A and B are shown apart, each in its own frame.
Chain A
């Protein structure tokens, strides 16, 4: 699937690898997590109310629609979180904490 967002410049930055739903995704240093996820995919999360996928809206930290979860259950606002090497996030619902 092609990503929602398209890069139009600043592509000479260092590559950063993260894991999204277990699969490796390549991003660039300085990307927000939202950009890292949406240049390769078309969703950030599933609405908890069953009305389908969401991919953020305001991109400026106001709408809170771009939450993603780390594999260990932490919550991140994707539009204001810089991507970091080795990040592991899930887009299909908050994971249950390990017992």
Chain B
């Protein structure tokens, strides 16, 4: 009997009041996004965090995330706030109409504890089921520009050690989602695919929690899903689950799972984190069942039922309804 666990990949929209408050406190320009110890800003984030934790608990999600509301630069955040990283011009965030500040690594990526501090704050609000979220090492290195390590492999190694140290400083969490859209968006080539897998393994091994490497969006090369070699290498990492985007790609993923097998657990991105159309719990359940029925090559103990992407793309009203629908999926009876 497969256990369904409802969750999300984090990266939430700021509540509307916090949007205004923080824009007023911090400003609208590139330079205004630097980290600040201003108590008013900290206080605004604390209140916003409480709001999104409450909202997840109200919905009844099995895993609760901190919300990543401070991540102005989305997945590039852990670098953007680092002392040895310069943030430069605004660049497009993948194929989205969103932008982040280009992080240029200018020195060694020493452990900082920024994400652990966020989770510490969240532990006061969450009794059980706290889920951490980090950019995967391959994606974070992909978003960075290197002005220190010298080559791609050395940069990846530096980013991996940095993320492993971050993860090692986490308070107790139930689950860690490592977000790896770059495995699809700019897939690693020969030998880089193996390095990517090793890097993910190193970060996964740094925490005592269930680890999900979540992949999403469509690959430009190939059929749309993860490239077969990339996927095959990914399975070598010590992961509890791989996550797939079933909003953007179906057949290739099903093929990969049947052809190469999968981890013991799996995460299925079955609601669209980028569109306001709210899928009903029965629709979500249908998508989950579709995957389970079409992957005879795997026998999953647990399915994380999740949105495909982070949810900051959505206005807060629709965001809340997406959480409600995900949390309600367990009550849906299989057809």
Chains A and B belong together in one complex: no
